[in-house]
Amino acid sequence: MSRGTLERVRAGRGPLERCTTDPRAFLEQDWGKRAAVRRGGPPAGFEDLLSLDDVDRFLTTTALRTPFFRLVKAGEKIPESSYTRSGRAGSRDVAGIANPARVAALFEGGATIVLQGVHRWAEPVARFCRDLELELGHPCQVNAYVTPPGAQGLDLHVDAHDVFVLQAFGRKRWEVHAAPREAERDPLDVEVAGGDTIYLPAGTPHAARAQDVLSGHLTVGIHVTPWREVLAGAVADATAAIDDPVPAGWTEDPDALADELRARLAALASSLGDVDARRVIGERRERFLSSRAQLARGSIAERSAPIDVDDDTVVARRLGAIVELSPRPDRLVVLLGDRRLEMPSSLEDAMRRIAELGDDDTMGVHELAPFLMAPASRRVLVRRLIREGLLTIRGGR
């Protein structure tokens, strides 16, 4: 059986297991229903994603700019001018650059450092977030919060999306109220340490409490697709009649408009019966698997010289690369995470061989010979997939 991207992500200890310990039990008992606290493994359970040294490096050596970071104190925003500076890049003035000395002084004085959109610019978090998206089938985003000892956290609030709180280092105290679909209960008063997690369904009131130790945590926001959106797409696919204008002067004869509404509802119901549900879901799946972040580290270095490929070239699947195949009667659609490719159907068997490569597997280009007889065709395909970021050359000829 082919080992597609989704199966490979679920193999081993994926991000959902790290967040929940038992993904099956979590999805059955907690997902969308109730808040949950999970105790992690070793104290450094999430320090591979974020450490205090990482935060220090981001803010002192990388010219990090707003809005990718901000400072708050007791829930109140601190003016950016208090901790940023301006500079020049080439011939352009650049504002909002982190001023390390001012950031450090405000942090020492009780300000919380907020790193925003970390999934867009920190590679370990980007990989974790992208793989979690594949497991859940919903887009995710990540912010990080680093709070000094003795500082007050955020006031009681709710988020419009589901959240995983991943304690990376230090400790933090939380007040967690019942989720909207949860039975009424007293608020949880819980302290989490490195490796611990909290799951909060959308709309769960929660607050980070005052603390006496350093804390660094990641907040993973999960933007769950509601059935309303899927059904609305199916309705739009069924008929365009819903876009017809309501007659002018309808307020004079509401009964007539009610009759017209009943007729249109009946027509819509009939039209919905003809909708190809599998096609609607298939198109949504393709959009999701072609709009994720691409993890293509090494591709620029690889393109610094001509890509020389022959039958003795050894290739591997680039770490973190997505490839899902969606055959059509007349073509093969290849989903690569951040894009879709269309190929001749004759390449399906060769692409399935490539899609089966595991993270530690390698393949000689000549191994595609049973599917592509012409050496030139094998070279062209592999060279293109290297340029697309799916494959990488692994030395050895």
- Which tens digits make up the pLDDT trace of 336-356? 999 999 999 999 999 999 999
| Alpha helix ranges (H) inside the chain | 5-10, 15-20, 23-29, 52-61, 100-108, 123-136, 227-238, 254-272, 277-288, 299-302, 348-355, 375-387
Residue 8 has pLDDT above 50, yes or no: no
Cα–Cα distance for residue pair 139/132, rounded to 1 Å: 9
Global pTM? 0.89
Cα–Cα distance for residue pair 26/90, rounded to 1 Å: 51
- List, in sequence order, every residue forming a beta bridge with 28; answer none if it has no partner: none
Closest among 131, 124, 121, 211 to 174, alpha carbons compared: 211
Per-residue pLDDT band at 3 (split at 50, 70, 90)? very low
Per-residue pLDDT band at 233 (split at 50, 70, 90)? confident
Residue 395 has pLDDT above 80, yes or no: no
Q: Where are the domains of the chain?
A: 5-222, 227-275, 299-393
Fold designation for 299-393 = Outer Surface Protein A; domain 3 (3.90.930)
Cα–Cα distance for residue pair 44/170, rounded to 1 Å: 9
- Answer for the pair 339, 390: CB distance below 8 angstroms, yes or no: no
Per-residue pLDDT band at 43 (split at 50, 70, 90)? low
Average pLDDT on 177-193 reads: 96
* CATH top-level class of 5-222: mainly beta
Q: Please tell me the total number of residues recorded for the chain in this structure.
A: 397
Closest among 172, 170, 165, 50 to 118, alpha carbons compared: 50
Query: What is each CA distance from 101 to 79, 167, 235, in whole angstroms?
Result: 16, 26, 56
Average pLDDT on 69-85 reads: 93
Cα–Cα distance for residue pair 204/159, rounded to 1 Å: 7
Q: What is the pLDDT of residues 124-153, one digit of tens each?
A: 999 999 999 999 999 999 999 999 998 877
Residue 397 has pLDDT above 50, yes or no: no
Q: Which DSSP string corresponds to 105-120?
A: HHHHTTPEEEE--GGG
Per-residue pLDDT band at 44 (split at 50, 70, 90)? low
Cα–Cα distance for residue pair 297/239, rounded to 1 Å: 44
Per-residue burial over 82-98, b if 16 or more Cβ lie within 10 Å, else e, is ebbeeeeeeeeeeebbb
